[in-house]
Amino acid sequence: MARVTPLSGFPEWLPGEQFIENTFVERVRRVFELHGFAPVETRAVEPLDQLLRKGETSKEVYTLRRLQASEEAAAEAERLGLHFDLTVPFARYVLENAGRLQFPFRRYQIQKVWRGERPQEGRYREFRQADIDIVDRDTLALHYDYELPVVAAEALAALPIPQVVIHTSNRKLAQGFYRGLEIADPPAVLRVVDKLDKIGASRVAEELVGLGLSDAQAKACLSLAEIATPDAAFADAVRRLGVTDPLLDEGLDELTLVMEAANGLVPGLLLADLSIARGLDYYTGTVYEAKMRGYEQSGAVGAGGRYDNLAESGSDRFPGVGVSLGITRILGLLFGAGALSASRQVPACVLVAVTAEETRGASDAVAAALRRRGIATEVAPAAAKFGKQIRHADRRGIPFVWFPPSSPADQHEVKDIRSGDQAVADPQTWEPPATDRVPDILTP
């Protein structure tokens, strides 16, 4: 048999790590639902023309092909791809279901996506995202642009992770600034500036000049990207650069409102960071990137923004704003650093010992009684000596071993194998300590 090797970029967690991911998902889901977001799940596959219609993403998309398909069927299948984010499929979903949705529509979606990029720490080809979006018909009020980061921050605060700072900017601000510099292709400049964290200022300047910008224009673009303030002071810093344009003014006004409103609700929530560009073309206004303290060099663990034109068909237009949290990226970074672990690898809190195979039914009855009260329980795999059964529980991380009575005169007893304490117990009433009911998430 050929040696099995891991497939790069497709993470598979151990059971304890998977428990942590499940817990993260549940906590995030709960926060989203507390804010009125409804669950949605879209198909994994979209037509390529749908996936590629907004932005240069062709290198990221995995196409779909059936191995034994006919030539004609293969050609048809190659026009399909796995979704690389959840926003583009959601826009399609809104258009297809607009007649059955109530607007403004608030949705959350926690699902895997696939992206063909180079795997590295915290970056994968298959990963789970947790998205929230609000869409409306025709127009979308600006107050949603500061509501979304408030909800995202609350969801992140429910997780045992380092503090996450949400950086924000506005595409109108950046594009208006580039227009004021008389740059012919502002979206192309945005895509280059979006690489600033990855390749550095000097390389960005080189690429901007390669796009046809003068040295002065490239320097001005980098000067804009250097502005970062915890309040609305960014507006004065931009104006001091001496560039004017109506779209720039609109972006400054919108970002000022979002910053002041969000930080008024949650002090210090947003950091105005004009290096935030977001490479995808569908963003039209406010944009966000969330960075985890101590892991900033690994990039954003959350991102999003406003998209006014992504969901449109004919005269129907559904502008939206959304935030995506990178569940797998957060976990991958923290697992890699040894900053998260589970207190045990299995959900079972109790192992019920088996005194003899002929009396296994009695052990099964104890397990059933405990499970009815929500206590995760296993029954020992074999009627070995009790010492061996205890060692089995210890290897699996199960904290309690239950001993059914071996005769009518005996009583049930339960042993905490960590401390050695053993006591009489009733399967109808016994309760483990709350901290032992389910595996706990441990941090240094």
The binding site comprises 85-87, 115, 129, 133, 278, 282-283
Is residue 382 within 8 Å of residue 351, measured between CB atoms?
Answer: no
> Is-contact 183 224, C-beta < 8 A?
no
Which residue blocks in 341-385 are alpha helix, DSSP H?
A: 360-372
d(CA 205, CA 218) in angstroms, rounded, equals 6
Nearest-angstrom CA–CA distance, 51 and 319: 18
DSSP 386: H
Would you say the C-alpha torsion 67, 72, 78, 82 has a positive or negative sign? negative
- 425 secondary structure, DSSP code: -
Return all residues near 190 (Cβ < 8 A) that are at least 6 apart: 171, 174, 175, 178, 277, 278, 279
What's phi and psi for 306, nearest 5 deg? -95, 140
Is residue 378 helix, strand or coil?
strand
- Per DSSP, 297 falls in state G
Joined together, the tokens standing for residue 420 give 């050695």
Amino acid making up residue 389: Q
Residue 99 carries which DSSP code?
Answer: G
Binding site for L-histidine: what residues are annotated?
85-87, 115, 129, 133, 278, 282-283
Residues in the chain: 444
In the structure encoding, which two tokens stand for residue 17, read together? 């790590």
